[in-house]
């Protein structure tokens, strides 16, 4: 019986683990080793005493993975929802930006062949979307990892680059797994090795049941948080030593509610002012105490005009605020008050680098950068449009589908194209929020902070490692609709599962059809990428990445004229 579903309808051992992280159970010898030699030992008894054994958590949410010497285990910038504990062999983390070029991605993930893509035209269409049980989007796990390797002499590489060995039983990969952010450093295998990989659902369970482990992980993230800087466009060139100094001197803050998405739909319906609901992080005119660097979430930048707060920009993870004020401080020696206010849109993590430390450590490194490029005000977008994007949290999108209503002729070619690539069933609705000539369609935005992932008990909905696109592994989805409920934009829905004969699969316990979640997958397996964008004859449909300020500005300018 799989502990996730509690289902007893399957017979074989392999089937009973179909919703677990690995089809193979964790061997007893590994569990014993982890209990006494790994960092999990500090949580073992506490979890037992609370009635939730780590063993049972690991059996569901962990797997043992083997790597060969020089394998790339984690690539900086990739997305990942798991932590790693070395069991055997040696692994190293690369602490230097200069060594990252050897980790550059050499090949793109799987795509259909042209012939296979053409075959879609002739595939059977169903009037209502149903997912076949023999879906090809299943993730196949094997203990042996098939990953790219460092194609260099390892010893020479290690002598030339700053790397650090991660000891057996230590934990790594926790920052990205817990923050839903990209990996902050690359890790490679120094020798053939074995690792215990725990997906974040399991880590969350352990954290829930062990305060000691929770404190340990907080301290660890604090200790390693200098790595956070290395993922940011502003501070990416700072040497390791300066990053460490800054992380020790900076103030890490958390604002807003973690569960902003829960009541979001109700708040939207109430049509009350969103700006008044947001916590003020920095008040315009107040003392500017440092450089504000956003780590996660979104912030609204406003300017007070009379009695009205006018939205003039927004911040996304990696964006900074306060450069203008601090540049003035460095030039004149006189501190400048904050020129704008910053408000937390949902839950945000930010770091404040104190003014003096900024001037002493960061400014000399920024001399070659155009400070204006690092500003927070996003181009030429009007206040109304910024409010529209921020109030509805559309800025969360990395691939937001925006339609130019001045060009759209309602031909539905985009919907038809989506249907062709998804067995006759489109994965989006050509309707949604409107602002003047612009419409945000009801299609997955592949958010930078995908809150739909939070409640998924099996990890079926996850981010693609390389692109960060949010995808659903159908074999792991148990149809609980947690993601459907969590998505504040109504962009996910559930559909029935059907067998090879086209019959709906019925759950023997409830007698109801088995459901699976479905949403836009950006046509990841198609040779062309998103078919909807390709299909629009009038260039009315765009996918907008709200991190790309110039891209947003140019598309918005084109639409709004």
Partner 1 sequence: MKIRPPHSGVLLLILIGIVVSFYFLEQADAMLANPAVTSGWILLGSFVILCLYGARKKVPFLPIGKTATWLQLHLGFGVISTWLFLEHVGYRFPTGLFETHLYVLYSLLLISGFLGWLVMRALPETLRADGREVNPLRIPDELAGMVKKSDDCIAGLEPGELNPEILKGYFEVVRPYLCSGCGILPSRIHPEFGVPQSLIQRLQDYESPTVLFSSEPFLPVQRIVREKAVLDLHRVRQRWMRGWLFVHVPVTGVMVLMIILHVILVTAFKAGGAS
Residue whose CB is less far from partner 1, 291 or 419: 419
Residue located via tokens 């985009």: 414
The answer to whether residue 337 forms part of the interface with partner 1 (CB under 8 A) is no
Of 126, 133, 383, 528, which lies in the binding site for partner 1, with binding defined by CB under 8 A? Answer: 528
Residue whose CB is less far from partner 1, 439 or 556: 439
Site string for partner 1, 110-139 (x = CB under 8 A): --x-x--xx-xx------------------
Of 421, 458, 498, 518, which lies in the binding site for partner 1, with binding defined by CB under 8 A? Answer: 421
Q: Please identify, among the stretches 304-312, 390-398, 406-414, 477-485, the one whose residues bind partner 1 according to the rule CB under 8 A.
A: 406-414
Sign of CA dihedral 494, 499, 504, 508: negative
Q: Please identify, among the stretches 81-89, 195-203, 434-442, 511-519, the one whose residues bind partner 1 according to the rule CB under 8 A.
A: 434-442
Q: Please identify, among the stretches 180-188, 246-254, 489-497, 523-531, the one whose residues bind partner 1 according to the rule CB under 8 A.
A: 523-531
The answer to whether residue 536 forms part of the interface with partner 1 (CB under 8 A) is yes
Whole-number minimum distance, CB 447 to partner 1, in Å? 25
Q: Please identify, among the stretches 199-207, 209-217, 305-313, 401-409, the one whose residues bind partner 1 according to the rule CB under 8 A.
A: 401-409
Of 205, 309, 413, 476, which lies in the binding site for partner 1, with binding defined by CB under 8 A? Answer: 413
The single-letter DSSP state of residue 144 is B
Asked if 430 and 380 count as a contact pair (C-beta separation under 8 A), the reply is: no
Rounded Cα distance between 99 and 445, Å, is: 33
Residue whose CB is less far from partner 1, 27 or 529: 529
Parallel, antiparallel or unpaired: strands 279-282 and 186-189: unpaired
Residue whose CB is less far from partner 1, 137 or 142: 137
Footprint (CB under 8 A) of partner 1, residues 165-194: none
Please give the backbone phi and psi of residue 163, each rounded to the nearest 5 degrees, phi first: -130, 160
Asked if 137 and 474 count as a contact pair (C-beta separation under 8 A), the reply is: yes
Of 57, 74, 533, 549, which lies in the binding site for partner 1, with binding defined by CB under 8 A? Answer: 533
Long-range contacts of 387-390 (CB under 8 A, 24+ apart): 387/274, 387/275, 387/311, 388/433, 388/435, 389/314, 389/546, 390/274, 390/298, 390/300, 390/311, 390/314, 390/345
Q: How far is CA 545 from CA 143, 355, 395, 455, in A?
A: 36, 31, 8, 25
Whole-number minimum distance, CB 113 to partner 1, in Å? 11
Which tokens belong to 544?
């907008």
Rounded Cα distance between 474 and 558, Å, is: 38
Whole-number minimum distance, CB 386 to partner 1, in Å? 20
Strands (E), 209-259: 251-255
Residue located via tokens 């009379």: 306
Q: Please identify, among the stretches 13-21, 195-203, 271-279, 532-540, the one whose residues bind partner 1 according to the rule CB under 8 A.
A: 532-540
What lies within 8 Å, CB to CB, of 334 at 6+ separation is: 328
Whole-number minimum distance, CB 117 to partner 1, in Å? 5
Residue whose CB is less far from partner 1, 312 or 439: 439
The answer to whether residue 534 forms part of the interface with partner 1 (CB under 8 A) is yes
Q: How far is CA 404 from CA 17, 88, 436, 557, in A?
A: 47, 55, 10, 11
Our CA dihedral for 382, 384, 388, 390, rounded to 10 degrees, sits at 70
Rounded Cα distance between 219 and 216, Å, is: 5
The answer to whether residue 529 forms part of the interface with partner 1 (CB under 8 A) is yes
Of 348, 535, 544, 559, which lies in the binding site for partner 1, with binding defined by CB under 8 A? Answer: 535
Whole-number minimum distance, CB 542 to partner 1, in Å? 11
Site string for partner 1, 351-390 (x = CB under 8 A): ----------------------------------------
Residue whose CB is less far from partner 1, 111 or 262: 111
Of 268, 405, 481, 505, which lies in the binding site for partner 1, with binding defined by CB under 8 A? Answer: 405
Rounded Cα distance between 494 and 480, Å, is: 9
Of 283, 406, 425, 547, which lies in the binding site for partner 1, with binding defined by CB under 8 A? Answer: 406
Residue located via tokens 């409920």: 485
Whole-number minimum distance, CB 114 to partner 1, in Å? 6
Of 434, 508, 512, 558, which lies in the binding site for partner 1, with binding defined by CB under 8 A? Answer: 434
- Ranges of H-type helices in 24-173: 28-37, 41-49, 54-61, 114-119, 154-160
Whole-number minimum distance, CB 406 to partner 1, in Å? 5
Whole-number minimum distance, CB 539 to partner 1, in Å? 4
The answer to whether residue 538 forms part of the interface with partner 1 (CB under 8 A) is yes
Of 207, 267, 408, 505, which lies in the binding site for partner 1, with binding defined by CB under 8 A? Answer: 408
Whole-number minimum distance, CB 437 to partner 1, in Å? 7
The helix-helix angle for 200-209 and 54-61 (nearest 10°) equals: 170
Residue whose CB is less far from partner 1, 299 or 441: 441
Of 439, 484, 517, 552, which lies in the binding site for partner 1, with binding defined by CB under 8 A? Answer: 439
Whole-number minimum distance, CB 409 to partner 1, in Å? 5
Burial group, residue 141, by CB count within 10 angstroms (0-12, 13-18, 19+): middle
Total residues in contact with partner 1, by rule CB under 8 A: 36
Whole-number minimum distance, CB 135 to partner 1, in Å? 18
Rounded Cα distance between 42 and 556, Å, is: 53
Asked if 421 and 331 count as a contact pair (C-beta separation under 8 A), the reply is: no
The helix-helix angle for 54-61 and 41-49 (nearest 10°) equals: 110
Task: Point out which residues bind partner 1 (CB under 8 A).
Answer: 112, 114, 117-118, 120-121, 405-411, 413, 416-417, 420-421, 431, 434, 437, 439, 523, 526-529, 531-539
């Amino acid at each position: 019986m799989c502990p996730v579903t509690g289902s007893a309808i399957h017979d074989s051992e392999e089937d009973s683990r179909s919703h677990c992280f690995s089809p193979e159970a964790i061997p007893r010898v590994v569990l014993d080793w982890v209990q006494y030699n790994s960092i999990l030992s500090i949580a073992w008894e506490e979890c037992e005493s609370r009635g939730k054994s780590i063993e049972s958590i690991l059996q569901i949410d962990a797997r043992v993975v083997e790597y060969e010497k020089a394998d790339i285990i984690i690539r900086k910038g990739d997305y990942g929802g798991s932590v790693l504990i070395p069991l055997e062999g040696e692994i190293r983390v690369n602490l230097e930006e200069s060594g990252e070029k050897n980790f550059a991605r050499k090949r793109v993930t799987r795509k259909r062949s042209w012939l296979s893509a053409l075959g879609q035209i002739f595939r059977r269409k169903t009037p209502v979307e149903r997912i076949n049980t023999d879906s090809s989007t299943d993730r196949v796990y094997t203990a042996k990892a098939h990953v790219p390797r460092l194609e260099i002499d390892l010893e020479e590489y290690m002598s030339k680059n700053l790397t650090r060995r991660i000891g057996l039983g230590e934990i790594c990969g926790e920052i990205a797994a817990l923050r839903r952010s990209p990996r902050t450093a690359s890790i490679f295998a120094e020798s053939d090795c074995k690792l215990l990989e725990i997906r974040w659902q399991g880590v969350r369970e352990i954290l829930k049941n062990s305060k000691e482990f929770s404190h340990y992980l907080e301290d660890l993230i604090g200790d390693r948080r200098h790595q956070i800087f290395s993922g940011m466009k502003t501070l990416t060139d700072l040497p390791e030593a300066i990053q460490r100094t800054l992380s020790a001197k900076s103030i890490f803050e958390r604002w807003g509610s973690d569960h902003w998405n829960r009541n979001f739909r109700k708040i939207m319906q109430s049509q009350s002012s969103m700006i008044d609901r947001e916590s003020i992080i920095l008040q315009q005119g107040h003392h500017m105490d440092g450089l504000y660097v956003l780590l996660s979430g979104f912030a609204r930048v406003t300017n007070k005009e009379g009695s009205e707060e006018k939205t003039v920009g927004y911040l996304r993870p990696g964006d900074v605020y306060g450069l203008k004020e601090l540049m003035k401080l460095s030039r004149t020696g006189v501190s400048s008050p904050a020129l704008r206010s910053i408000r937390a849109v949902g839950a945000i993590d930010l770091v404040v680098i104190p003014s003096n430390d900024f001037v002493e450590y960061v400014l000399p490194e920024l001399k070659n950068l155009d400070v204006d490029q690092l500003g927070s005000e996003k181009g030429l977008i009007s206040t109304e449009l910024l409010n529209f994007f921020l109030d509805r949290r559309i800025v969360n999108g990395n691939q937001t589908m925006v339609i130019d209503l001045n060009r759209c002729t309602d031909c539905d070619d985009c919907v038809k194209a989506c249907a062709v690539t998804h067995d006759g069933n489109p994965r989006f609705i050509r309707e949604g929020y409107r602002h003047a000539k612009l419409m945000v369609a009801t299609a997955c935005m592949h958010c930078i902070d995908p809150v739909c992932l939070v409640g998924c008990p099996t990890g079926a909905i996850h981010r693609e490692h390389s692109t960060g696109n949010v995808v659903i592994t159908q074999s792991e989805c148990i149809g609980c609709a947690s993601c459907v409920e969590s998505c504040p934009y109504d962009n996910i829905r559930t559909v029935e599962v059907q067998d090879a004969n086209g019959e709906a699969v019925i759950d023997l316990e409830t007698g109801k059809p088995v459901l699976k979640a479905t949403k836009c997958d950006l046509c990841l397996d198609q040779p062309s990428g998103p078919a909807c964008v390709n299909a629009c004859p009038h260039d009315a449909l765009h996918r907008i990445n709200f991190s790309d300020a110039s891209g947003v500005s140019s598309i918005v300018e084109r639409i709004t004229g």
